[in-house]
Amino acid sequence: MNYGIHDSLDLNYYKGVFNKMLSPCKHAKITENEVTNTTTIEINGTPLASAKVTFLVANSADLSVTKIKPMHLGYVGQNLIYVIKVTNNGSSNATGVILTDILPPNCICSYINLTQGTYKRSRHKITFYVGELDCNAHAIAIISVIPRYPCILTNNSFVTANEYDNNWNNNFCTTNTKVYCMCPNFYYFG
């Protein structure tokens, strides 16, 4: 092969090699205190080089969000309460903890409370600024809504923090609630 002058076939071949080198790594291993990426450069299926990079994670939080006793049944015009629990299961404190809750558009928010921190409401989005959450500690947010008509209400919550979270699978929570009309009481006298 002449390295000074490349024909178009050679250039396309090397473009493919470099694209493989720059493609996202598919071999990531994540543990509580480290993230390891391994990649291998291959030409025609033959490995040429391999590289392994390990990042040590000094501060690791494992935040989770759950709904406590979620209501799966509600009625038009009556309060429906969401109790949302954020827990830090990680090995270090979590800072900058933010819980975001997306309310269904077909309800009216009637009450908001948080055990620590502050919150901001923007239409159907409530952002809870929890702040710092120690290891094995939790914060609770309470939201009350009033459904406006029969439907299925979907409430979504998710939590983030400044620290690395080694388990993103428990950072999201969704609850669906069937809402029915309130039927008047009928009495039969006879």
94-153 confidence digits (pLDDT tens): 999 999 999 998 999 999 999 999 999 998 999 999 999 999 999 999 999 999 999 999
Fold (topology level) of 60-180: Immunoglobulin-like (2.60.40)
Q: Is the pLDDT of residue 10 over 80?
A: no
Residues of the chain with CATH 2.60.40.1530: 60-180
Distance CA 129, CA 113 (A): 12
pLDDT of residue 176: 93
Distance CA 74, CA 33 (A): 43
Q: Is the pLDDT of residue 183 over 70?
A: no
- Most distant CA atoms of the chain, gap in Å: 105
- pTM score, whole prediction: 0.68
pLDDT of residue 75: 92
pLDDT of residue 24: 44
Tens of pLDDT, residue by residue over 14-62, are 444 444 443 444 455 555 566 677 777 777 878 777 777 776 666 678 9
Q: Is the pLDDT of residue 1 over 60?
A: no
pLDDT of residue 9: 39
Other beta carbons within 10 angstroms of residue 174's beta carbon come to 12
Composition of the chain by helix, strand, coil, percent to 5:
10, 55, 35
